Amino acid sequence: MAFWNKKNKNEDTGAPEAAKSSAGTPAENSPESAKKSGGIFASVKAALQKTSRALNTDIRDVFKSQGELVDDEFLKRLFAVLVKSDMGGAMAAQVRDRIGNEYRARKVEFQDILDVIADEIGQTLAQGGTEIHMAEEGPTVILVVGVNGSGKTTSIAKLAYRFTQQGKRVLLGAGDTFRAAAVEQLTIWSQRIGCDIVTADAGADPGVVAFKATQKARDENYDVCIMDTAGRLQTQSNLMQELEKIRRVIGKHIPEAPHEVLLVLDATAGQNAISQAKGFSDAAGCTGIVLAKIDGSAKGGVIVPIRQQFELPVKLVGLGEQLEDMAEFDPEMFAKALLAESKS
C-alpha cells in the first residue's frame, strides 16, 4: 500500500482551498496528526474513527456482560445490529453464521466478534484486485465519474499528483463542461500539480474534450490521461447515456481505453452510495471505486455491500484534503482500521 507524503507548497496561487496546506496544528486523532506521528495504519484508522466508533458501540450493545453465550438469541441480536450498519445484510449473515459455527454453546468475547468481522470484510474486499490497471503500451486512460459534491474533482487532482510524483507525464481532460467552475477548478489544480490539461468552453460537447485529450495523449506520448466528466445523478438517463458516448470516443483513439473507469463515492452518502454504484456501473462500465471523504463519515462500511453486489473493488481512498492524502486501498488494513476500538 502506498501513501504519498511529499508536502505540497503553500504559495497563494488561487488554487482551491483543499490544495493549500491546512493552517494551524492538526487536531488530535485527525489523519494529518496520524501522519505526523507515523504510520499508514494510523492514518487510515484516524480517517475511519467516526465509522469505527459507531460500529463498536452498536456491537457492544449486543453484550449484556463481558462474555456472551452464543445461542440463537445472541445470534439474532448480533445479526439485527449488523444489518442496521452500512455493511449490509449479506455481510451480517456471513458474520452471524461464522460466529455460530465457531462459538455455539460457548462464550464469545467482544474482541472475538470484531476479529471475525474484520477478517470477513478483509476477505470480501480483497476479491478482484485493487491495483490501477495500466496500459501495456501507449497512454493509460482513466475516466472518472460521480455525482456533484462527491469529491470527484479533488480526487482527480490527487490521482494526477500521485502519477506525477512517480515521474509520469499526465494530461487532464476537463470534460465537465456543464459547469464553468469545474473547468476552472481543474485548470487551477493542473497548474498547481504541474501537469497539462485540455479544456473547452462552458457548454461544449464533452465528447469533443475526450476526443482532443485522447488524441493529444496518444500523439504526444503522455503516460496517463485522466478524463473528468460532468457530475450527474444516477437517475439522469440523458447524462448517463452521454458517458457511453464518451467511452466510445475514447476507444476510437486508443484501443482498449478507457483502461479504468473510476467511480468516486462520497463515504458520507451511506446507502445512497449503493444506488449511485448501480446507476454508474450500468451506464459507464465502472471498473473500480475511489472512496472519498472517509475522514468525515460514520458510514465507511457501505463499501462492503457495494463490493458484494456489484463486484466493484475499491482502488483508492481519500484520507483528507491535501494532495498527498490519498492511499492505494489495502483491504486487510482497511478492515482492521474499521473495527479498531476508539480510545477516545
Distance between CA atoms of residues 99 and 71, nearest Å? 10
Distance between CA atoms of residues 266 and 272, nearest Å? 10
Distance between CA atoms of residues 113 and 99, nearest Å? 7
Q: Which fold has domain 140-328?
A: Rossmann fold (3.40.50)
Among residues 162, 210, 219, the alpha carbon closest in space to that of 189 is found at 162
Distances from the Cα of 263 to the Cα of 45, 200, 234, 313, 323, angstroms: 23, 23, 11, 10, 19
Q: Which residues contact 4 (CB under 8 A, 6 or more apart)?
A: 161, 162, 165, 323, 324, 326, 327
Delimit the domains of the chain by residue range. Answer: 49-126, 140-328
What is the per-residue DSSP string for 100-133?
Answer: HHHHBTSEEEHHHHHHHHHHHHHHHHHTT--SPP
What's residue 180's pLDDT? Answer: 75
- Domain range 49-126, its CATH number among 3.40.50.300, 3.40.47.10, 1.20.120.140, 1.10.287.130: 1.20.120.140
What's residue 11's pLDDT? Answer: 34
Within 10 angstroms of residue 244's Cβ, the number of other Cβ atoms is 12
For residue 298, give the C-alpha cell: 460514520
Q: Which helix (H) or strand (E) holds 210?
A: helix 206-219
Per-residue pLDDT of the chain (344 residues), as tens digits, is: 332 333 333 333 334 544 443 333 444 444 444 444 445 678 788 878 887 888 888 899 888 877 899 999 999 999 998 888 778 899 999 999 999 999 999 999 999 999 999 999 999 988 777 789 999 999 999 999 998 888 899 999 999 999 999 999 999 999 998 887 889 999 999 999 999 999 998 888 999 999 999 999 999 999 999 999 987 665 556 667 788 889 999 998 898 999 999 999 987 777 788 888 888 887 788 999 998 877 665 567 788 888 888 888 899 988 778 899 888 888 998 899 888 865 44
What's residue 8's pLDDT? Answer: 35
Distance between CA atoms of residues 330 and 121, nearest Å? 12
Distance between CA atoms of residues 234 and 276, nearest Å? 6
What's residue 321's pLDDT? Answer: 82
First to last CA, the chain: 27
What's residue 298's pLDDT? Answer: 58
Within 10 angstroms of residue 219's Cβ, the number of other Cβ atoms is 10
Q: Which residue has the cell 465528447?
A: 207
What's residue 234's pLDDT? Answer: 52
Lay out the sheet containing 326-328: strands in order across: 196-198, 170-173, 224-227, 140-145, 260-266, 288-292, 314-318, 326-328
Per-residue pLDDT reduced to its tens digit, 332-343: 988 998 888 654
What's residue 275's pLDDT? Answer: 82
